[in-house]
Amino acid sequence: MSRDDRNQEKSRIVNWTGFQGKTLWDWLQLLLVPLLLAVGVAVLEIAESRRQEENLAEQYKQQILRDYFNDINSLIFDSDKFKSLQDSPAYDPRREVLGARTLSALKIFGEDEDKKNQIIRFIASSSLSSLIPIRRANLSDLDLSGATLTGVDLRASKLNNTDLTGANLGEAYLCSSDLSGADLEGAILTNARYNKYTKLEGVKNLSKKQLDLMDEKSVDSCGPDTLETTKDSDDSAAEDETDKES
């Protein structure tokens, strides 16, 4: 077969396949379009999977929140149980169980400030702040302005601080509360009520400016559910608890 015959044969093949006159860009389009479509589909599938995971996580958190509120409500509306808890010593096991459940829920919510704030404000508005210990909790950046945290146990241990960094405690009631060792760096304390029974020993990052902005009140005018001095038995129990935590 002569060269001319071979060229004619190649020309017929090219014409038959439709590849005649294709540029490099044409070839790239042929290769890239299917690839881009495949990538696009994969991205959409990943986004949908993440959305479903986020929805499931949100549903789980909502269920935890509902279960927590239901358990606490059952206590509040049972007058005998509630009175018994009020009359119990500071370190009654029932209080510790409630505290552990509260800390567990707060930990599950992680950076979800809204749900964490709902729990703390629920405790505050239900006159439970002195009954449910929330020491060593991560309450950073929460808006607790005006909350009634009278008598609340926010102590730190040697291993873990109660984290109140950046929290808004403006005009909150902290009378007879125990914030010993808590971290208050950047916390807003403007007009936060406290009294001589509020424990601030060893508080971390509490500046003189923050302290000056707080509003020291007498016991009689320190707000709702003001606690009197702690009983000697409670003091000894506190020392025992501190020893256990250390």
Mean predicted lDDT score pLDDT of the chain: 80
| pLDDT higher than threshold 70 for residue 15 | no
Tell me the whole-structure pTM to 2 decimals. Answer: 0.67
Contact predicate 110/86, CB 8 Å: no
Q: Rg of the Cα trace of the chain?
A: 32
Residues 90-100 pLDDT 10s: 888 889 989 99
| pLDDT higher than threshold 80 for residue 211 | yes
- The H or E element that residue 74 is part of is helix 24-76
- What does the angle CA 106 – CA 156 – CA 219 come to, to the nearest 5 degrees? 95
- The H or E element that residue 45 is part of is helix 24-76
